[in-house]
């Protein structure tokens, strides 16, 4: 990082010309615009407003970046920014939106879906287990249902669309036709449809009912039907935004994402924006707040220690290999890459088995060396040590790689000069090698910190946050980090999932982590100005 | 500088895009020509009918199942496809992620028509409006009541059951020829044995918190999670610190203190049993396959030994088929479930592939000779359904953690049960 | 070199490295053991299993339900495509940050970095809905397609990668592009003929790191990929362990070995270049 800001020349937009490159650019941007415009009708038809907005925004960005004479860096940044805005920024904004809703078990659908769901509900005339046998016939006047009660009574008649008005005399007289055994293939000029034919028109059959005295018959499968009351149980009135329940004869009002009938909440409900309730709960609920602070502290320790440990081990190994007369460099390097090459989720599960207090191989090894077993995953302190140990195993190869490169890059003359001046090897390392390394790798260390801060996979698979803090009012474990704690709180809340509460915590984690990172980057700036030239 | 790097950059991009494009053509669904022609025929025969003038669409049924169960339904599907011309697509979704995925994908219109899951999902999914009720109709009597109860929520049946499972006792017949009647008997039997590392192996200790495997200790002397009347649970009546639950926990504590039950997780308990150094192992029928595959250990299955003078009531999980309320082919899906799966053949195929105790009366009768299966069935008959209300989410962690604390000796039995009950009450009341 | 001096200068290094190698390989040995063990058992009580079998490997390629070969291919495809495009986009952006002066340059770079500390997987609901809406107009890039998940990964690490590449580009003397500019080169020519080729070493390393991260990513892939034909390896392997207690450790371990081997081999062959890339990447006088 040798360039100080002033040295680099200012580059203007002077490179604009009517060169072939310009025309190519015009064509490409034109194609993107055309594709977007062509997609607009579909987007509108599907009501994909989210995508419409995002694409529109990015198309504008591209047009500006490549066509505006004032755009300078824009054309270099635009390709990457398109993906960053759609797949990173937008999810953050959406998470923010979820955090101010009531999105939790019982409130996951949209209001329209809830209404459809409820309006599909029918009132059965008779109880469970009294389904009718059904056959469907095709004839001159349309499809006809033949339904037989368990007691042998039969109904045969022309089915109608359930949305149409009832037919008074839908039933056809079947006197003289034997309907006791297997149902006949032909009745008058109606012929029975086979399974294949029926399933081919299943969508139409679903919409049909047969009127009989006291109700209607509706197909349940292609061979069975149920007797229901004509008309549906719930009816939504869009004007008053209320729901009428025909069975209980009550009108239900809407309240915070649910229909409430006579003071009783009706499930399912739908998602609505409820404001900052979830944030208030995190700060206002003493139990959550206490756990939150405890977890936050360990989270910082965990992330910092993870970086420190992987950094030191990686550096130590890179340093040990860094000698002209060392043999077997390729051998060692290949071994150290292995933990990095195995998919992490798998090696974490293996470590979990190895660390088992009673039967794990780690304790077996310690015991065979004369030590006594360690409660790795069941004692709070040891579990924390185990988590850090495993994370060091997972992370040191990366640091080792980086450090190997960084070490080789430090000019030998610098070290030799210091040696000549009589400095000890440790002294040289401390005052020359380490500072230079820190300058060049600080961004990586911050990146590593940010990654480990939210290292959900490690905690979830190794300890699942455990061992539990005994007697804690909310489920929290000794090794829980914010993200695993959030997961527990969101998934195992008092009543199923609570996405909204989880999202609120995620947003808070994001803000905290961004603040810490921003601060760290300022700090690296200082480092640079001290050690950089 | 030469031109080379530009070419390199271009090549890399082209290579990347080619790679991205290749192979993506495979995913087109094989529509099957025979099916299409049959539907076309149907259309002609019903041409005069007003309701069927438009061309019949290709009917497709999407089923989500995990690997094991996918194998089972794969056997039934060809017959169904042949008879009906419906195209069945099985998508593998891992069991642990299924409930959440159905919850997100269903409302978004990307979900399955049918999925295979467990009874403890029913409450949450039904509350969310994801599940469609299932009406077994005349077939209801073919299934045992406890299986139907497990899939019933607030009085409505939401699934077609095909298996039940509850834990029981595996014992090493070389070490312990007789099944113990009580936990004390098991402990006493171990006292005479040599070369054992652990007497009774059951997960729920060490790092393996597991409320499911530990529940017999809660229930044996009368403890319970939520009180229920007629299958409707009252989440405000928590029985984890009732006298019965505490005496069960005290019995557990004694076993731990006597060194009879080491604090192990699932793999620990399994390994020791398979190594022949653990005479007793408490777990479910899903391990029958692993035991049948090995020849190191001679084993048998018995009902759970009595705990604190009471018969343990293990949690009974019911496996079943669910119908999504967002399915656009409900009639087809119901036909598949009721006319093809809820039959003796369908249920026999599920049993053959999955191996868990069956719930269809005919299959139960057919497997009566299988001692292990019928013992697991009997254990399930002693058990209680896993409460399927959404509030159960708060129980697993709280109960599992505190039972593990007893196993690890960090908290005394009574305090642990009070802690568990308090945590559940707080979570439910918030 | 005397033995004493050898020990002082070289010997201790070997001791440290051997201990570290033991640490690095320790769990791997158990993965190997499980892969050849006929009993599905991970934390086996014995290192040398009672039996020895290749079944765990052959089974992987036999089942239609779990087409491991396809998964492996998908993983490589997704990781190579996403990582190379990611590096290219990041290189373009870092050129702007390193060589151009524009309003909001520092703020822009910093915001890009800070945005990137948000773990993408937490926004899975938005990513899922987006996939569904894209699928409505362009099914080949919607839910359950590798195209979509590649695009998601493209957004994932650009900011951070751009930052690293920028650090390297800053070390390339400005005099080079100044003289090219005098010769009449435009920014694109300076980028493509001078800066990009000179940055190749760091680009290669960032490619490898991004590749490995994507290769083992599974939380997003699990949400966005549906059918077994589209799975990446990491998603597919979950099927072996999430089946309610009856995990297939043997298959899993065998799969891990097959999955990790190419990476280790690549590294074995290319390690000089990789370390070399890092060398030039960091501190340069």
User: What average pLDDT does the structure give for chain C?
Assistant: 83
- Give CA C253 to chain center in angstroms: 20
**Residue A6 reports pLDDT greater than 70:** no
Closest-approach residue (CA) in chain C for A334: C268
* Distance, CA of A161 to CA of A145 (rounded, Å): 12
pLDDT at A100: 94
**Residue C274 reports pLDDT greater than 80:** no
Average pLDDT for C155-180:
85
CB C215 within 8 A of CB C53: no
Chains in contact with B via at least 3 Cβ–Cβ pairs below 8 Å: A, C
The pLDDT confidence band at residue A1, using thresholds 50, 70 and 90, is very low
A345/C216 CB distance under 8 A: yes
**Residue A312 reports pLDDT greater than 90:** yes
**Residue A415 reports pLDDT greater than 90:** no
pLDDT at B420: 93
Q: CA angle at residue C171 from C167 to C177, to 5 degrees?
A: 115
Average pLDDT for A71-93:
89
The pLDDT confidence band at residue A384, using thresholds 50, 70 and 90, is very high
Distance from CA of C110 to the nearest CA of A (A): 8
pLDDT at A124: 74
Q: Which of residues 237-266 of C touch A (CB under 8 A)?
A: 237-238, 241, 252-253, 256, 259-260, 263-264
In order, the DSSP letters of C53-120 are -SHHHHHHHH-SSS-HHHHHHHHHHHHHHHHHHHHHHHHHHHHHHHH---TTHHHHHHHHHHHTTS-G
Average pLDDT for A229-240:
84
**Residue C43 reports pLDDT greater than 80:** no
Contacts with B430 from chain A: Cβ below 8 Å: 285, 493-494
Q: Which of residues 79-138 of B touch C (CB under 8 A)?
A: 91-97, 101, 104-105, 108-110
Contacts with A485 from chain C: Cβ below 8 Å: none
B85/A463 CB distance under 8 A: no
Least trusted range by pLDDT, from B47-56, B201-210, B359-368, C165-174: B47-56
C192/B6 CB distance under 8 A: yes
pLDDT at C40: 67
B423/A201 CB distance under 8 A: no
The pLDDT confidence band at residue B218, using thresholds 50, 70 and 90, is very high
* Distance, CA of B285 to CA of B301 (rounded, Å): 10
pLDDT digits (tens, 9 = 90+) for A103-138: 888 888 889 999 988 888 877 775 544 678 899 999
Contacts with B415 from chain A: Cβ below 8 Å: 471
Average pLDDT for B303-315:
94
**Residue B205 reports pLDDT greater than 50:** yes
**Residue A232 reports pLDDT greater than 60:** yes
**Residue A382 reports pLDDT greater than 90:** yes
CA nearest to A65, candidates A76, A53, A54 = A76
CB count within 10 Å of CB B236 equals 11
**Residue A159 reports pLDDT greater than 80:** yes
Of C28, C96, C216, the CB nearest to A76: C96
**Residue B243 reports pLDDT greater than 80:** yes
CB B314 within 8 A of CB B203: no
Average pLDDT for A472-491:
84
Contacts with B55 from chain A: Cβ below 8 Å: none
Average pLDDT for B114-130:
91
Identify which has the larger pLDDT, B20 or B247. Answer: B247
Contacts with C142 from chain B: Cβ below 8 Å: none
**Residue B4 reports pLDDT greater than 60:** no
Q: Which of residues 49-88 of C touch A (CB under 8 A)?
A: none
Q: Which of C48, C133, C246 should one mutate to test binding to chain B, selecting the residue with the greatest count of B CBs within 10 A?
A: C246
pLDDT at C48: 67
Average pLDDT for A272-296:
87
Average pLDDT for B197-221:
90
pLDDT digits (tens, 9 = 90+) for A323-349: 777 788 888 888 898 898 888 888 888
pLDDT at C42: 61
pLDDT at C268: 78
Average pLDDT for C11-17:
87
CB count within 10 Å of CB B10 equals 11
**Residue B45 reports pLDDT greater than 50:** no
pLDDT at B185: 93
- Give CA B115 to chain center in angstroms: 12
The pLDDT confidence band at residue C278, using thresholds 50, 70 and 90, is low
Identify which has the larger pLDDT, B64 or A467. Answer: B64
Q: How many CB pairs under 8 A join A and C?
A: 314
A21/C16 CB distance under 8 A: no
Q: CA angle at residue C86 from C83 to C92, to 5 degrees?
A: 145
pLDDT at B15: 52
Average pLDDT for B321-332:
92
Of B3, B12, B93, the CB nearest to C88: B12
Average pLDDT for A152-157:
87
* Contacting residues for A413 by C-beta, under 8 A, at least 6 apart: none
pLDDT at C284: 37
* Contacting residues for C94 by C-beta, under 8 A, at least 6 apart: C161, C162, C163, C164, C165, C166, C169
Contacts with B268 from chain A: Cβ below 8 Å: 356, 358-359
The pLDDT confidence band at residue A526, using thresholds 50, 70 and 90, is low
* Contacting residues for C35 by C-beta, under 8 A, at least 6 apart: C56, C57, C250, C253, C254, C256, C257
CA distances (Å), C198 to each of B163, B206, C189, in order? 64, 54, 13
* Distance, CA of A68 to CA of A62 (rounded, Å): 10
Q: For residue C34, which phi and psi values (nearest 5 degrees)?
A: -65, -35
A493/B394 CB distance under 8 A: yes
pLDDT at A41: 85
Q: Which of residues 5-34 of C touch A (CB under 8 A)?
A: 9-10, 12-14, 16-17, 20-21, 23-28, 30-31
Q: CA angle at residue A310 from A309 to A316, to 5 degrees?
A: 90
**Residue A33 reports pLDDT greater than 70:** yes
**Residue A230 reports pLDDT greater than 80:** no
* Distance, CA of C154 to CA of C149 (rounded, Å): 8
Give the three-state DSSP class for B366.
helix
CA distances (Å), B63 to each of B57, B110, B135, in order? 19, 12, 19
Helix (H) or strand (E) holding B280: strand B280-283
CA nearest to C195, candidates C99, C51, C107 = C99
Contacts with A2 from chain C: Cβ below 8 Å: 170-171, 284-285
Q: For residue B284, which phi and psi values (nearest 5 degrees)?
A: -100, 180
Q: Which of residues 59-88 of A touch B (CB under 8 A)?
A: none
pLDDT digits (tens, 9 = 90+) for B284-295: 998 888 888 888
* Distance, CA of C75 to CA of C258 (rounded, Å): 12
CA distance from start to end of chain B: 69
Task: Check if A531 contacts C (Cβ < 8 Å).
Answer: no
CB A244 within 8 A of CB A262: no
CB C79 within 8 A of CB A483: no
The pLDDT confidence band at residue A18, using thresholds 50, 70 and 90, is low
Give the three-state DSSP class for B62.
strand
pLDDT digits (tens, 9 = 90+) for B71-110: 888 888 888 888 888 899 998 887 877 888 888 888 888 8
Give the three-state DSSP class for A237.
strand
Task: Check if A468 contacts B (Cβ < 8 Å).
Answer: yes
Identify which has the larger pLDDT, A151 or A20. Answer: A151
CB count within 10 Å of CB B260 equals 19
In order, the DSSP letters of A97-125 are HHHTB--STT--B-HHHHHHHHHT-EEES
pTM exceeds 0.85, yes or no: no
Identify which has the larger pLDDT, A128 or C277. Answer: C277
pLDDT over 70 for what percent of chain C?
90
* Contacting residues for A154 by C-beta, under 8 A, at least 6 apart: A146, A147, A148, A174, A179
Of B128, B272, B393, the CB nearest to A493: B393
Q: Name residue A186's beta-bridge partners.
A: A191
Average pLDDT for A367-375:
86
Is the peptide bond between A268 and the residue preceding it cis, with omega within 30 degrees of 0? Answer: yes
CA atoms within 13 A on the CB side of B232: 4
């Amino acid at each position: 990082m040798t360039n100080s800001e002033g040295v680099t020349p200012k580059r203007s937009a002077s490179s604009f010309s009517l060169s072939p490159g310009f025309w190519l650019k015009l064509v490409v941007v034109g194609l993107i615009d055309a594709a977007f415009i062509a997609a607009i009708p579909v987007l509108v038809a599907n009501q994909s407003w989210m995508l419409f907005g995002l694409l529109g925004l990015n198309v504008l960005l591209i047009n500006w970046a490549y066509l505006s004479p004032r755009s300078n860096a824009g054309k270099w940044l635009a390709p990457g920014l398109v993906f960053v805005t759609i797949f990173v920024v937008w999810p953050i904004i959406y998470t923010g939106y979820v955090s101010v809703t009531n999105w939790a078990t019982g409130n996951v659908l949209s209001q329209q879906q809830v209404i459809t769901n409820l309006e599909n509900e029918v009132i059965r005339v008779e109880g469970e287990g009294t389904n009718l046998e059904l056959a469907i016939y095709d004839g001159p006047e349309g499809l006809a249902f033949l339904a037989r009660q368990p007691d042998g009574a039969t109904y045969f008649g022309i089915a109608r669309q359930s949305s149409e008005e009832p037919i008074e005399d839908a039933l056809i007289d079947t006197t003289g036709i034997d309907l006791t055994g297997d149902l006949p293939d032909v009745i008058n000029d109606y012929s029975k449809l086979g399974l294949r034919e029926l399933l081919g028109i299943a969508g139409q059959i679903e919409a049909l009912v047969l009127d009989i005295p006291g109700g209607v018959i509706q197909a349940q499968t292609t061979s069975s039907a149920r007797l229901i009351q004509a008309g549906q149980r719930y009816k939504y009135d869009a004007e008053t935004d209320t729901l009428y329940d025909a069975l209980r004869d009550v009108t239900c009002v809407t309240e915070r994402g649910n229909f409430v009938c006579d003071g009783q909440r009706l499930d399912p409900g739908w998602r609505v924006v409820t404001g900052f309730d979830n944030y208030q709960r995190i700060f206002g609920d003493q139990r959550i707040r206490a756990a939150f602070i405890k977890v936050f502290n360990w989270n910082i320790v965990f992330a910092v220690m993870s970086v420190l440990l992987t950094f030191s081990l990686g550096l130590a190994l890179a340093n040990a290999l860094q000698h002209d007369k060392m043999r077997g460099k390729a051998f060692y390097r290949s071994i150290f890459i292995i933990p990095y090459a195995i998919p992490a989720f798998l090696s974490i599960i293996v470590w979990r088995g190895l660390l088992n207090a009673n039967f794990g191989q780690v304790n077996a090894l310690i015991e065979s060396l004369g030590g006594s077993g360690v409660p790795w995953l069941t004692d709070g302190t040891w579990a924390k040590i185990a988590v850090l140990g495993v994370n060091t195993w997972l992370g040191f190869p990366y640091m080792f790689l980086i450090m190997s490169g960084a070490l080789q890059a430090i000019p030998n003359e610098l070290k030799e000069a210091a040696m000549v001046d009589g400095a000890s090897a440790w002294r040289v390392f401390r005052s020359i090698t380490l500072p230079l390394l820190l300058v060049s790798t600080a961004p990586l260390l911050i990146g590593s910190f940010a990654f480990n801060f939210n290292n959900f996979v490690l905690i979830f698979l190794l300890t699942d946050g455990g061992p539990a803090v005994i007697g804690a009012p909310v489920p929290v474990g000794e090794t829980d980090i914010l993200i695993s704690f959030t997961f527990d709180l969101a998934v195992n809340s008092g009543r199923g999932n609570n996405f909204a509460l989880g999202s609120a915590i995620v947003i808070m984690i994001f803000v905290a982590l961004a603040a810490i990172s921003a601060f760290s980057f300022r700090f690296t700036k200082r480092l640079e100005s001290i050690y950089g030239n | 500088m030469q031109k080379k790097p530009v070419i390199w950059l271009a090549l890399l991009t082209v290579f990347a895009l080619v790679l991205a494009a290749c192979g993506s053509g495979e995913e087109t669904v094989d529509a099957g020509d025979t099916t299409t022609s049959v539907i076309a025929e149907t259309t002609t025969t019903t041409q005069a009918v007003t309701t069927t003038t438009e061309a019949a669409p290709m009917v497709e049924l999407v089923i989500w199942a995990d690997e094991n169960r996918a194998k089972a339904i794969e056997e039934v599907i060809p017959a169904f496809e042949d008879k009906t011309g419906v195209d069945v697509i099985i998508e593998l979704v891992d069991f642990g992620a299924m409930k959440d995925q159905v919850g997100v994908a269903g409302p978004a219109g990307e979900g399955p028509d049918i999925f295979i899951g467990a009874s403890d999902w029913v409450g949450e999914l039904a509350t969310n409006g994801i599940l469609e009720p299932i009406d077994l109709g005349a077939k209801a009597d073919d299934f045992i009541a406890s299986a139907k109860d497990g899939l019933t929520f607030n009085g409505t049946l939401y699934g077609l059951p095909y298996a039940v499972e509850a834990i029981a006792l595996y014992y090493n017949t070389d070490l312990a020829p007789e099944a113990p009647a009580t936990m004390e008997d098991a402990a006493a039997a171990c006292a005479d044995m040599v070369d054992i590392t652990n007497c009774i192996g059951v997960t729920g200790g060490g790092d393996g918190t597991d409320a499911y495997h530990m529940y017999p200790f809660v229930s044996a002397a009368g403890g319970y999670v939520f009180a229920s009347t007629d299958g409707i649970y009252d989440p405000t009546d928590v029985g984890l610190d009732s006298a019965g639950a505490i005496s069960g926990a005290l019995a557990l504590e004694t076993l731990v203190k006597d060194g009879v039950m080491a604090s192990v997780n699932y793999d620990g308990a399994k390994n020791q049993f398979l190594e022949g150094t653990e005479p007793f192992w408490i777990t479910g029928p899903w391990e029958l396959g692993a035991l049948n595959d090995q020849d190191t250990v001679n084993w048998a299955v018995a009902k759970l030994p009595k705990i604190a003078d009471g018969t343990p009531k293990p949690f009974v999980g019911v496996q079943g088929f669910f119908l999504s309320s967002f399915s656009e082919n409900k009639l087809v899906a119901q036909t598949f479930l009721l006319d093809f799966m809820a039959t003796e053949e369908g249920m026999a195929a599920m049993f053959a592939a999955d191996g868990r105790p069956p719930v269809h009366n005919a299959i139960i009768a057919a497997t009566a000779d299988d001692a292990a299966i019928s013992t697991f069935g009997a254990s399930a008959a002693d058990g209680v359904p896993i409460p399927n209300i959404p509030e159960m989410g708060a129980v697993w962690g709280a109960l599992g953690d505190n039972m593990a604390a007893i196993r690890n000796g960090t908290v005394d039995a009574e305090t642990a049960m009070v802690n568990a009950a308090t945590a559940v009450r707080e979570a439910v009341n918030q | 070199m005397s033995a004493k001096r050898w020990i002082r200068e070289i010997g201790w290094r070997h001791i440290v490295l051997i201990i570290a190698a033991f640490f690095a390989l320790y769990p791997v040995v158990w993965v190997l053991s499980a892969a050849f063990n006929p009993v599905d058992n991970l934390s086996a009580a014995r290192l040398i299993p009672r039996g020895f079998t290749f079944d765990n490997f052959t089974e992987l390629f036999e089942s239609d339900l779990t087409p491991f070969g396809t998964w492996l291919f998908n993983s490589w495809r997704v990781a190579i495509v996403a990582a190379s495009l990611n590096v290219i986009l990041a290189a373009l952006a870092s050129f702007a940050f390193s060589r151009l002066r524009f309003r909001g340059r520092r703020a822009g770079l910093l915001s890009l970095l800070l945005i990137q500390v948000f773990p993408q997987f937490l926004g899975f609901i938005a990513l899922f809905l987006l996939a569904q809406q894209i699928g409505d107009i362009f099914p080949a890039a919607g839910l359950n397609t590798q195209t979509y998940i590649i695009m998601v990964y493209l957004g994932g690490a650009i900011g951070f990668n751009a930052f690293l590449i920028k650090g390297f580009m800053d070390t390339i003397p400005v005099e080079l592009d100044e003289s090219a500019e005098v010769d009449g080169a435009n920014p694109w020519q300076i980028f493509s003929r001078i800066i990009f080729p000179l940055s190749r070493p760091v680009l290669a390393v960032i490619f490898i790191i991004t590749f490995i991260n994507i290769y083992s990513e599974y939380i997003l892939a699990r949400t966005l990929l549906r059918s077994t034909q589209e799975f990446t390896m990491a998603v597919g392997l979950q099927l072996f362990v999430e089946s309610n207690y009856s995990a297939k450790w043997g298959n899993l371990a065998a799969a891990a070995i097959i999955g990790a081997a190419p990476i280790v081999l690549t590294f074995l062959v290319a390690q000089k270049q990789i370390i070399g890339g890092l060398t030039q990447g960091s501190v340069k006088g």
